[in-house]
Amino acid sequence: MRESVSGLPREFWWLWTSTLVNRLGAFVATFMALYLTLDRGYSASYAGLVAALHGLGGVVSSLGAGVMTDRLGRRPTLLVAQTSTALSVALLGFMTDPVAIAAVAFLVGMASNASRPAVQAMMADIVRPEDRIRAFSLNYWAINLGFAVSSMGAGFIAEFSYLAGFLIEAAMTLVCAVVVFVKLPESRPGEVGKGAVDEVPVSLGTVLRDGRFMSVVGLSFLVAFVFQQGSVGLPVAMGEAGFSAADYGMAIAVNGVLIVVLQIPVTRFIEHRDPRRLLVVSSLLAGYGFGLTAFAGSVGVFALTVCVWTLAEIVNAPTQTGLVVRLSPTHGRGRYQGMYTMSWSVASLTAPLVSGLVIDRFGAAWLWGMCAVVGTVAGVGYGALMRRLPAEEPAVADPAVRAEPEVSAA
């Protein structure tokens, strides 16, 4: 543990703390469906529409937040995103009209997703290249630890008051904004005043024309689509097979427990290993981990399949984020991270639609077979893409990046 957390700059830990507090207060996403159907009395279809609009808001804001991260800076973008999230979440708790609820849910999706490009870009700015995989892994660990705790707390809070859940999340998000305002200096390389060089301007068109990076975005979408089935396809399939919500809860709880327990030691094991091999293996594990679900007939076997694709998630998340930073020019990290974030937002929007259609028309076994195929395609794609990466690529931005933590600390 000491080796895992040592050597990272103080600014990283404040950013990590902000992430943890944010996820500890993420109650709304957990109980939104129950709130709309049980407390407000709306249909499951309406709850699904609200969830889709929330996801659509994330898709819309990903690119805009990426541009803001590069133009305004990481810190202002985080402040705007977190303050807007707090206000919109609090407002959502007081909405009663179905149209108003749907509209505000869309705003919540936009605001909450807008902080991701800024967080990832700032993390890349302040952490040395050789420590980035470890830093991204620790941040992912904080996300899952916070989500595990908030998921348990959401149930107790919902028993007392759904409105309290909305207000608590708003308050904790404001705490994150205060942490950013008080403790985090701007890390955008052009703002540091040291190591700034004349760079070719980066626009969204530049990102779209970067074929190698857009290949990563496409592969990221495929992997994200597979992982999304843990929360959209798996509960539906288990329900149709006669398992209860409690059974699904027991199986999916394995995911959070394993990430909290294994993320740090596994990262120590993979930190300096070949990223090409890690991405290929994790893609195959994800695809075939879900593919094995077709043969599950008990909660125990379902839990075993969750173990397989959770290991893939533990390996894939920090490695893939590190690859995105590796392919991003220093002065365009916000836009590149925004495009990468959008791939996950689009996956969260499309996965429920596709999984529902496949299960209804062909059966759950076809969905799990499709996951195996998609995981295989992603693995082959990563193998081909990484083979074309120049060996010296990771060191391109080293001098400028290495200077940034020293300036920030000063």
Residue 196 has pLDDT above 80, yes or no: no
pLDDT of residue 309: 93
Average pLDDT over residues 299-316: 92
Q: Which two tokens stand for residue 298?
A: 């008990």
pLDDT band for position 220 (cuts 50, 70, 90):
very high
Is the model more confident about 274 or about 198?
A: 274
- pLDDT tens, 42-94? 776 787 778 778 888 888 888 788 888 888 888 899 899 999 999 999 999 89
Domains observed in the chain: 11-186 (1.20.1250.20), 208-404 (1.20.1250.20)
Are the C-beta atoms of 117 and 77 separated by less than 8 Å?
yes
Measured CA to CA, the distance from residue 236 to residue 293 in angstroms comes to: 12
The beta-carbon contacts of 91-99 under 8 Å, at least 24 apart in sequence, are: 92/28, 92/166, 93/162, 93/163, 93/165, 93/166, 93/167, 93/170, 94/163, 96/40, 98/42, 98/46
Measured CA to CA, the distance from residue 407 to residue 410 in angstroms comes to: 5
Q: Which two tokens stand for residue 258?
A: 């394993």
pLDDT band for position 214 (cuts 50, 70, 90):
very high
Residue 392 has pLDDT above 60, yes or no: no
Least Cα distance to 240 among 294, 277, 180 occurs for 294
pLDDT of residue 282: 94
Measured CA to CA, the distance from residue 34 to residue 132 in angstroms comes to: 38
pLDDT band for position 364 (cuts 50, 70, 90):
confident
pLDDT of residue 239: 79
- Centre a 10 Å sphere on the Cβ of residue 349 and count the other Cβ atoms it contains: 20
pLDDT of residue 280: 93
- pLDDT tens, 367-391? 999 999 999 999 999 988 877 665 4
Is the model more confident about 275 or about 249?
A: 275
- Centre a 10 Å sphere on the Cβ of residue 392 and count the other Cβ atoms it contains: 7
Angle at 324 between CA 340 and CA 322, to 5 degrees: 125
pLDDT band for position 198 (cuts 50, 70, 90):
very low
Measured CA to CA, the distance from residue 289 to residue 313 in angstroms comes to: 11
Angle at 281 between CA 249 and CA 392, to 5 degrees: 130
pLDDT of residue 193: 41
The mean pLDDT of the chain is 81
pLDDT band for position 2 (cuts 50, 70, 90):
low
Residue 199 has pLDDT above 70, yes or no: no
Is the model more confident about 324 or about 38?
A: 324
pLDDT band for position 245 (cuts 50, 70, 90):
low
Residue 262, judged by CB atoms within 10 A of its CB (0-12, 13-18, 19+), counts as middle
Residue 313 has pLDDT above 70, yes or no: yes
